[in-house]
Amino acid sequence: MTPSGELQRELQQSVDELALRLVVAEPDGRAALEDWGPSLERIRTSAERQQASGVSHLVAELLRGLAASSVTMALLQDGVAALQQALEVPAPATPPGGSPAQDPELMSDFVVESREHLANIETQILTLERDPCDAEALNSVFRGFHTIKGLAGFLELWEVQRLAHEVETVLDRARNSEWTINPAGIDVILESADYLRNWLLHVEATLQNRASAPPRRNDPLLARIAALSVEPETPSTPGLAGLVEALAEPVVPTDFEPGPEFLPSAPPERAELPAEAPPETAVPAPAAPVTTAAVAPAAANTVPASGAPVGQRHETMAVKVDTAKLDYLVDMAGEMVIAESLVRHDEEISGIKNPLLHRKISHLTRITAELQKTAMSMRLVPIGPLFRRMARLVRDLSRQFGKQVEMVTQGDDIELDRTIVEELADPLMHMVRNALDHGIESPAERQAAGKSPSARLLLRAHHHAGQVVIDITDDGRGLNRSKIIDKAVQRGLIASADGMSDNEIFNLIFEPGFSTAAQVTNVSGRGVGMDVVRRHIEKLRGRIEIRSSPGQGATFLLKLPLTLAIIDGLVVGVGKERYIVPLFAVREMFRPTAETIWTVQQQAEMALVRGSLLPVVRLYRIFHVEARHEDPLEGVLVVAEVEGQRFCVLVDELIGKQEVVIKSLGDTFKSVTGVAGGAILGDGRVGLILDLDRLSKVRD
- More confident of the two residues 365 and 667: 365
Q: Give the confidence band of 444 by pLDDT, cuts at 50, 70, 90.
A: very high
Helix H or strand E segment including 465: none
CATH class for the region spanning 96-231: mainly alpha
Topology (CATH level 3) of domain 381-561: Heat Shock Protein 90 (3.30.565)
Q: Give the confidence band of 317 by pLDDT, cuts at 50, 70, 90.
A: low
Residues 6+ apart with CB under 8 A from 494: 485, 488, 500, 508
Mean pLDDT, the chain, whole residue set: 76
- Segment 624-647 mean pLDDT: 86
- More confident of the two residues 48 and 431: 431
Q: Give the confidence band of 253 by pLDDT, cuts at 50, 70, 90.
A: very low
The mean-pLDDT minimum among 9-13, 114-118, 216-220, 474-478 falls in: 9-13
The model scores a pTM over 0.85: no
Judged by phi (left if over 0) then psi (alpha if -120 to 50, else beta), residue 97 lies in left
pLDDT of residue 637: 93
Judge residue 292's burial from the number of C-beta atoms within 10 Å of its C-beta, 0-12 exposed, 13-18 middle, 19 or more buried: buried
pLDDT of residue 516: 61
pLDDT at residue 159 is higher than 70: yes
- Segment 295-308 mean pLDDT: 37
Q: Which one of 170-174, 257-261, 497-501, 515-519 scores highest in mean pLDDT?
A: 170-174
- More confident of the two residues 559 and 525: 559
- Distance CA(264)–CA(258), nearest Å, equals 6
The mean-pLDDT minimum among 81-95, 519-533, 595-609, 678-692 falls in: 81-95
Instruction: Confirm if 139 and 26 have CB atoms less than 8 A apart.
Output: no
Which tens digits make up the pLDDT trace of 551-596? 899 999 998 887 777 778 899 999 989 999 988 888 999 999 888 8
pLDDT at residue 46 is higher than 90: no
For the beta sheet containing 543-549, the strands, ordered from the edge strand earlier in sequence to the opposite edge, are 291-294, 404-410, 454-464, 467-474, 553-561, 543-549
Instruction: Confirm if 264 and 258 have CB atoms less than 8 A apart.
Output: yes
- Segment 69-89 mean pLDDT: 64
The mean-pLDDT minimum among 49-53, 111-115, 491-495, 534-538 falls in: 49-53
**Which CATH number is associated with domain 566-695?**
2.40.50.180
DSSP 439: I
Question: Dihedrals φ, ψ of 241, to 5°?
Answer: -60, -35
Which tens digits make up the pLDDT trace of 463-505? 876 678 999 999 999 988 888 888 888 888 888 878 787 878 8
| DSSP one-letter string for 240-295 | HHHHHHHHTS----TT-----TTS-SSPPPPPPPPSSPPPP-PPPPPSS--EEEES
DSSP 507: G
- Distance CA(68)–CA(63), nearest Å, equals 9
Q: Give the confidence band of 86 by pLDDT, cuts at 50, 70, 90.
A: low
- Distance CA(246)–CA(54), nearest Å, equals 10
Residue 504, CA distances (Å) to 542, 544, 608 in order: 17, 12, 20
Q: Where are the domains of the chain?
A: 1-89+233-270, 96-231, 323-378, 381-561, 566-695
Instruction: Confirm if 456 and 408 have CB atoms less than 8 A apart.
Output: yes
Question: Dihedrals φ, ψ of 464, to 5°?
Answer: -155, 120
- Segment 44-58 mean pLDDT: 68
- Distance CA(192)–CA(27), nearest Å, equals 20
Expressed in angstroms, the distance from the first to the final Cα of the chain is: 92
pLDDT of residue 290: 40
| DSSP one-letter string for 542-600 | -EEEEEEETTTEEEEEEEEES-SSEEEEEEEEETTEEEEEEGGGEEEEE---TTTEEEE
